[in-house]
Amino acid sequence: MNTLIRQDIASLRPYEAHIVEGNIKLDANENPFPWPDGMREELFNFQYAFNRYPDSQTRMLREAIAAYNGVKAEEVLVGNGSDELIQVILHTFGGEGRALMIHPPTFGMYAAAASITSTSLVEVPLLEGISLDLETMLKKCSENKRVKVIIICNPNNPTGTLFPREEILKIVKNTEALVVIDEAYAEFSGETLLDQIIDYPNILIMRTFSKAFGMAALRLGYVIGNKELITCLNKVRQPFNVNSFSQRAGIVALKYVSAYQTQIAAIKKEILMLYNELHKFEELKVLPTRANFILFRPQDPEYWAEGLSSRGFTIRSLGELPGLGKSLRVSAGTPEENRAFLKIIKDIAKSNIETSPLKKISRFNGMYGG
């Protein structure tokens, strides 16, 4: 097989989620709460024709998404999670001889999709790991006409940073490339550039049901853009890419927006509490966030990750991040899980102090509040 596989694919490592049976999962930025009361019953009581193909145009779901976002149904395209949509975007506008610009550290699937679609990668690292290097991004866009797609993750994963609206719009206005704004965590940040798709035809907004709506297992995402953009993407999309159950789940979930908003408010409250508590530990450098997760940097990340795992908590170890170094990311859990997590944090900090001297790390002064 090694002689048949594309060499650029052969060098890729498959994505493997780290699962520790029995541990509390705080590693994947999921909504920790169950579905709103009544939603499960409404979804499971529906009569599905599982012997038939799903609606290839996802008409009812697109109409529900359009109503939720205040756009037209023809401005919406639904996918089997954002991962599929990223590949659809690069198959449509990227490919051989074209380039994708990203701002590491950011969501790892952008670079993976670039490799899969034979799209070159132009990386402009964030300044100090948190701010867009606007000058360099604009310069590279101007110099490199192969850049056809720019992806900006806002709020950014894994840092939680929310980039200023005017900076993103400056990029949009000064490039002919498609600017994809991944707003997977928009329900938590309360910020969006959705209102700009009418004025700028090169903006594409990407959203997901995996985070705020607690439907990560059902793989449901969507993009919003002008009708011409959506028509182009629809040529590449697989005809039956979203199954009937997930389509119905999205429709039903959007009927429970009020209940989800209550959950979102609770998660934001928990995130602020976690940020304030983690910020008290001198050995932790904690980044402010506008998402449902927090990135923090201990002196010895491996020690902390292993300590948490052995005590029943799985968080995300991110390795070496540009401008930030080795970091850890924790998602908000339920109030009970978060308080148990902080108790373990205190135990690890105490244990670490008893076993080795610690150097005090100055706290992070970010652009945004917690």
* Lowest mean per-residue pLDDT among 1-10, 34-43, 187-196, 234-243: 1-10
Residue 300's contacts (CB-CB under 8 Å, 6 or more residues apart) are: 352
pLDDT tens figures, 316-336:
999 899 999 999 999 999 999
Q: Quick check: 62 and 286 in contact, CB under 8 A?
A: no
Identify residue 326 by its one-letter amino acid code. Answer: K
Instruction: Tell me the C-alpha distance between 198 and 70, whole Å.
Output: 12
Residue 247's contacts (CB-CB under 8 Å, 6 or more residues apart) are: 54, 55, 58, 60, 61, 78
User: Which alpha helices (H) appear in the chain, and where do they start and end?
Assistant: 7-10, 39-44, 59-69, 81-93, 109-116, 134-143, 165-173, 186-189, 227-234, 244-253, 257-278, 301-310, 335-355
| Residue range(s) of every CATH 3.40.640.10 domain in the chain | 39-256
Fold of the domain spanning 39-256: Aspartate Aminotransferase; domain 2 (3.40.640)
State percent of the chain over pLDDT 70. Answer: 95
Per-residue confidence (pLDDT) for residue 359, from 0 to 100: 41
Contacts 24+ apart (CB under 8 A), 269-275: 270/332, 270/333, 270/334, 270/335, 270/338, 271/188, 271/332, 271/370, 272/370, 273/338, 274/330, 274/332, 274/338, 274/341, 274/342, 275/370
Per-residue confidence (pLDDT) for residue 3, from 0 to 100: 78
Where residue 363 falls among pLDDT bands split at 50, 70, 90? very low
Q: Does domain 14-30+258-355 have CATH number 3.40.50.300?
A: no
Res 358 pLDDT > 50: no
| Residue range(s) of every CATH 3.90.1150.10 domain in the chain | 14-30+258-355
State percent of the chain over pLDDT 90. Answer: 88
For residue 4, the surrounding DSSP H or E stretch is none
Where residue 224 falls among pLDDT bands split at 50, 70, 90? very high
Burial per residue of 217-253, b for 16 or more beta-carbon CB atoms within 10 angstroms, e otherwise: ebbbbbbbbbeebbebbeeebeeebbbbbbbbbbbbb
- Count of all residues that appear for the chain in the document: 370
Q: Which residue has the tokens 């980044």?
A: 287
pTM reported for the whole predicted model: 0.92
CA distances from 67 to 37, 72, 164 (A): 22, 8, 26
Residue-averaged pLDDT of the chain: 93
